[in-house]
Structure formats: structure tokens, C-alpha cells
Amino acid sequence: MKTASEMIEFYKNMASIGMLQEVMWQYISMACGGSGGKLYGIEGEPSCREYNYPDYPDSFFQAVCDGMGWSYLADEHESQ
């Protein structure tokens, strides 16, 4: 199991901004207890969370979002 710190470092070094945007929305979803969306092109179209992060708690995604500066709290999204 990866740590939040490992994922923060990985994403901070990610070259593709477009890909990072998609990852950001997946993490925000999972930080709020969601699935992160479907992974199309993979048999059965599992969710991001089912496929990549089985058994990871919401707190893991919240820690990565915090480290990346990604707001996952509903009231913070409404004020943006």
C-alpha cells in the first residue's frame, strides 16, 4: 500500500497537466467517499477506487488532496 506522502511526491512531479487535472477530480471524489469515476476501456469498467485503491480509506485521499492543495470540502467548492 502506498502512503499519501509517496503519492503527493509522485503527483507533484507529474509532467502532464491535463492528466493531473483528471487525477485531481478522481481524488476529490474519493476523498468525499466517492468512486473516482469509471475506468473505461478496462473489462467491466470498474471505478478508479475499485481498480486502483481497494480498501484505501477516505482519509488517504483527503491527505493527498491536502498535500496537493486540492479542496475536497463542499463549502470550499461553492466559494470558488
CA 20 – CA 43 distance, rounded (Å): 24
pLDDT band at 79 (very low <50, low <70, confident <90, very high): very low
Do residues 64 and 7 make contact, with C-beta atoms less than 8 angstroms apart? Answer: yes
pTM of the model: 0.80
Tell me the average pLDDT of the chain: 90
Do residues 23 and 11 make contact, with C-beta atoms less than 8 angstroms apart? Answer: yes
Render pLDDT for 34-70 as a digit per residue (tens, 0 to 9). 999 999 999 999 999 999 999 999 999 999 999 999 9
